[in-house]
Structure 1
Amino acid sequence: MEKIVFLDSATIPSHICIPSPSFPHQWESFEETSSDDVLNRLKDATIAITNKVILNAELLAQLPSLKLIAIAATGYNNVDTDWCKANNLPVCNIRGYATRSVPEHVIALAFALRRNLNAYHRDIELGVWKEKNQFCFFTHPIGDITGATLGVIGSGSLGQAVAILAKAVGMNVIRVERKDVTSAREGYVSFEEALMQADILTLHCPLSDATRNLIGEKEFAKMKPTSILINTGRGGLVDETALVEALKKGEIAGAGVDVFTEEPATNSNPLLAHSGLPNLILTPHVAWGSDSSLQTLANQLTDNLNAFIKGHPNNLV
């Protein structure tokens, strides 16, 4: 009988049903697990499920019973996959489950920032309408989405889905080449050109040494002062301090951020420290989290476990 331990089950809301695996098993679930408790909770486990709990080489070396790590998310930078490959420990993840939820979140942020909805809401709360004494007032520019140019960094399933939805609402979409590539592929715009062309830049690439701080001070200086940055990818893709400075100096017009360098983010994070900026919208890593996407994730998680036990593992990383 397999022993399955889910280390951070609170990352999936309680109203989402995780189907029971089809093989004999013991299921143990913890809403959250601190680094001090991981070893004890996994000591007899044959299958570990984690969303964000870190499983490093030192820890994994002490878990000889472990047969599979199932990640309840797409990103797997919390697991030492190099160690797992060297020691023949399979790791699987979830794929393609949020291709509705993330694109809708991106487009929602694009509309809100392009039309300065947050800024106008804030002005009403501050009493600006009463001061103006008119039926309406224009304290911030209002831009259209139709005809705007969207630069998509990342050509995976999410980037592609965002592009489809953006085109449906009348946006011009450009696919952005990797930063370190000198000659852009056919159908792609070079990274430098995209910085200068895009009205809205949206990030959907993995976080790695090559993409860490992909957008920083130098990149903001090349963007249009009317441009918007949206990050629903990974927090480390953007230099958060540089982003705040770019917003305050007017180097870009706005930003929508769903992911942070450390999560949960604290008040020491420069974005939270400046969360009152009218052109900054923050959400707590929920772009992926529509009910339909969460149920798809839960179903795929169980499918991955069943496939592994049957000898035909899915979604290995």
Structure 2
Amino acid sequence: MKLVILESYVMHPGDLDWSGLRALVDDTDEYVRTAYEEIAPRIGDAQLAVVNKCRIDEGVLARCPGLRWVGIIATGTDNLDLEACRRHGVKVANVPAYSTYSVAQMAFSLLLAVCQCPERQDRAVRDGYWQLQVPPGYGILPQVELYGKTFGVVGYGNIGRQAARIARAMGMKVLACTRTRRPADAAGGVEFVELPDLLAASDVVSLHCPATPATRGMMDAAALARMKPGAILLNTARGALVDEAAVAAALTSGQLGWYAADAFAVEPLPMDSPLRTAPHTLFTPHVAWATGGALQRLMEITAQNLATFLQGHGQNIVNP
């Protein structure tokens, strides 16, 4: 069988490679990045493909009749038309939970940076300033203690639960809003509430749900108006969950205290995005998932996904 890797940039050269996948097949083609119009020609007559952000839809599938398996090196499948894949007899396997600890960690990295400005404090010290002598131009705001504050988790999957554990370890009260609740969740010291109640009560709201028709744009002007004035919104999930123009307006008015995000509706973040000129923002370029530990798990699970498919059954199939 032939395997086509369409986005090899996901792995850091010298740290991790695709040898685990190559060892499973006779023929492998590898491309660093692939534009949409290049997807079908590059897959060609291959039976197997690995993607990250590439869009696999009816137009691609119609031109690749030999394709039988797509491995997405991610958890989310927003860029794949799963129903079209099912119609064409293409199984899609994702990689669940590989980045749980890294993404939850990033949520708190952003939160702590907002609350205590360590990078700005570091620049001030290096420039010769100390404590209350730091000029206003450094943008250092009063520090915020998280102990006793309320942390609202929207989406209580693997990452949401890990974020809740971290928040509780820091002495925060945790509220959670989730579509599905597991029996064991009640023992975690977390109070489950509806979204409007969570928004009204939380000092920090952290998004950890997938982008679905029900959740896209959920953090719109109305939702932001329900939040505590000056609250912090964290998004390490999907950019599509928020109305970015509404977030920028809420930041400008002061209704929203901070917006810290690792994911955006359009990536890279457009230069004309209203978020770029809004006050009190902190951004990272969608890299929460890319720690060494997470990437190692990503590669191992992707190789297992392919190996089990070749053995005749397949694991982590999202469109059975």
What is the DSSP-based 3-state SS (H/G/I as helix, E as strand, rest coil) of the residue aligned with 2:20? coil
Q: CA deviation at 1:266?
A: 2.0
What is the DSSP-based 3-state SS (H/G/I as helix, E as strand, rest coil) of the residue aligned with 2:2? strand
Distance 2:133 2:282 in 1: 27
Distance 2:194 2:156 in 1: 14
Distance 1:197 1:245 in 2: 21
Corresponding letter in the other structure for 1:283: T
Counterparts of 1:1-317 in structure 2 under 5 Å?
2-14=1-13, 15-21=15-21, 22-117=23-118, 124=124, 134-135=132-133, 140-178=141-179, 187-271=191-275, 273-274=276-277, 277=279, 279-317=280-318
Corresponding letter in the other structure for 1:274: T
Q: CA deviation at 1:142?
A: 1.8
Distance 2:135 2:194 in 1: 40
Distance 1:65 1:252 in 2: 51
What is the DSSP-based 3-state SS (H/G/I as helix, E as strand, rest coil) of the residue aligned with 1:173? strand
Q: CA deviation at 1:222?
A: 1.3
Structure 1 unpaired stretches of 5+: 179-184
Q: CA deviation at 1:137?
A: 7.5
CA deviation vs aligned residue, 1:62-101 (integer Å, no higher than 9, x gap) = 2111010110111111111011122321100011101211
Q: Report if the CA contact (8 A) 1:19-1:302 is conserved.
A: no
Q: CA deviation at 1:119?
A: 6.6
Q: CA deviation at 1:117?
A: 4.6
Distance 2:208 2:155 in 1: 5
Distance 2:268 2:255 in 1: 28
TM-score when normalising by structure 1: 0.88
Q: Which runs of 4+ in 1 moved over 6 A?
A: none
Q: Report if the CA contact (8 A) 2:2-2:25 is conserved.
A: no
Q: CA deviation at 1:12?
A: 2.2
What is the DSSP-based 3-state SS (H/G/I as helix, E as strand, rest coil) of the residue aligned with 1:100? helix
CA deviation vs aligned residue, 1:135-180 (integer Å, no higher than 9, x gap) = 46796332112212111111111111111122122221111145xx
Q: Report if the CA contact (8 A) 2:61-2:88 is conserved.
A: no
Q: CA deviation at 1:121?
A: 6.8
Corresponding residue number in structure 1 for 2:182: none
Distance change >3 Å, CA 251–CA 117, structure 1 → 2: farther
Q: CA deviation at 1:120?
A: 5.8
What is the DSSP-based 3-state SS (H/G/I as helix, E as strand, rest coil) of the residue aligned with 2:59? helix
Q: CA deviation at 1:253?
A: 1.1
Distance 1:135 1:265 in 2: 35
CA deviation vs aligned residue, 1:235-277 (integer Å, no higher than 9, x gap) = 0101111111111111021111100111122202222x326x3
Structure 2 unpaired stretches of 5+: 180-184
- The worse-fitting range, judged by mean Cα deviation, of 246-255 and 112-121 is 112-121
TM-score when normalising by structure 2: 0.88
CA deviation vs aligned residue, 1:98-136 (integer Å, no higher than 9, x gap) = 1211111111111111234567678x59x9x69xx9546
Corresponding letter in the other structure for 1:254: W
Distance change >3 Å, CA 149–CA 118, structure 1 → 2: farther
Calculate the aligned-residue CA RMSD, in Å.
2.4
Q: Report if the CA contact (8 A) 1:19-1:299 is conserved.
A: no
Matched-pair identity in %: 32
Distance change >3 Å, CA 255–CA 134, structure 1 → 2: closer
Distance change >3 Å, CA 70–CA 134, structure 1 → 2: closer
Q: Report if the CA contact (8 A) 2:156-2:178 is conserved.
A: no
Q: Report if the CA contact (8 A) 1:102-1:288 is conserved.
A: yes
Corresponding letter in the other structure for 1:194: L
Distance 2:44 2:18 in 1: 23
Q: Which has the higher helix share?
A: 2
